Amino acid sequence: MNLSRTARALLRIALALGLGVIYVPLAVVLLNSFNSDRTFGWPPSGLTFQWWRSAWNSTGVRDALWTSIQAGLGATAIALLLGTMAAFAVQRYRFFGRDTVSLLIVLPIALPGIVTGIALSNTFHTVLGVPLGLLTVIVGHATFCVVTVYNNVLARLRRMGRGLEEASADLGADTFTTFRLVTFPMLRSALLAGGLLAFALSFDEIIVTTFTSGAGVRTLPIWIFENLFRPNQAPVVNVVAAALIVFSVVPIYLAQRLSGEAQTH
């Protein structure tokens, strides 16, 4: 490619600057979690572990974390089931309205979260008369989590073809045995990757959660948002934020290992 040396240098600088812009704010949060100044005056006047200790001992944080994990696991389980079923239907069969099914699955993340949020809360509240709580949060999250599992399973089904399943049937295995011994093992890493994404999506969600959780149910994002504007909670909020940044590396690492595993297959 005939790019001048200046153009190449400029593009590389743009890339480096862009990555800098992406990471500097995160670094500031990490650094501030050790800032001994309560109001995060800049530059930090001193470093301390005090805020990490108080965050660890905060029951509000612990309860919210546990609620988030429950909601994430519930939503992921439903998304795994529905996403896999839909992916099989769309990839393995030809039927009327097949494209509509894909559109329907993407819709909950394509529409603004607030629309999904008030539509669901209105249905729970006025149409069905279900009290809002953890269960309604799980239903809300599952609705937009289906798409991640669906996409992963769909891509895997497309790649793996039907040869091995047909061979299994020829060797005398029935539908269920083939699924258990042939199809499912080949899907496993796609299910893990999709499930991981679904969990992360649910764990981070705030808008749909705001409208579908009742008064008593507080997920971690809700807790952060409630305490964001309380000056005396600021250091603890900052520690929770810093911890979330550090732990966001875990799913990335797992997803990379999974995709590496998939390539060697």
Partner 1 sequence: MSGSLRRRAAAFLHRHARVRLSLLLSAPLAWLGLAYLGALAALFVTAFWSTDTFTGDLVKTFTLANFQDLATGEVYRTIALRSLGVAVAVTLIDLVIAFPMAFAMAKLASPRAQRWLVILVLTPLWASYLVKAYAWRVMLSSDGVLGWGYGLTATILTLSYLWLPYMILPIYAGLERLPNSLLDAAGDLGARGWRTFRTVVWPLSFPAVVAGSIFTFSLSLGDYIAVKIVGGKSQLIGNVVYDNIGAANNLPFAAAVATVPVVIMLVYLAAVRRTGALENL
Residues 44-103 that bind partner 1 (CB under 8 A): 81-83, 85-86, 88-89, 93, 95, 101
Q: Which value, in Å, is the radius of gyration of the alpha carbons in the chain?
A: 23
Judged by CB under 8 A, the residue of 155, 186, 207, 262 near partner 1 is 207
What angle, 0 to 180 degrees and rounded to 10, lies between the N-to-C axes of helices 98-110 and 59-92? 160
Give 69 or 119: the residue with its C-beta nearer to partner 1: 119
Cβ proximity to partner 1, 161 vs 253, nearer residue: 253
Could you tell me how many residues of this chain bind partner 1 (CB under 8 A)? 82
3-state secondary structure of 35: strand
- Of the candidate spans 37-45, 53-61, 158-166, 182-190, the one that interacts with partner 1 by CB under 8 A turns out to be 37-45
Closest Cα partner for 138 from 124, 151, 154? 124
| 8 Å CB contact between 152 and 193 | yes
Site for partner 1 contains 146 (CB under 8 A)? yes
Kindly give, in sequence order, each residue whose CB lies less than 8 Å from that of residue 86, ignoring residues fewer than 6 positions away: 101, 105, 146, 150
Q: What are phi and psi of 130, to 5 degrees?
A: -85, 135
Query: Under the criterion CB under 8 A, does residue 171 sit at the interface with partner 1?
Result: no
Residues 149-168 interacting with partner 1 (rule: CB under 8 A): none
Q: Measured between alpha carbons, how far is 71 from 66 in angstroms, rounded to an integer?
A: 9
Shortest spacing between CB 210 and partner 1, in angstroms: 8
Among 58, 67, 136, 143, binds partner 1 (CB under 8 A): 143
Q: Is 263 in the site for partner 1 (CB under 8 A)?
A: no
Closest to 54 (Cα-Cα) out of 70, 73, 33, 68: 33
Choosing from 115, 130, 167, 181, the residue that interacts with partner 1 (CB under 8 A) is: 115
CB nearer to partner 1: pick between 17 and 56: 17
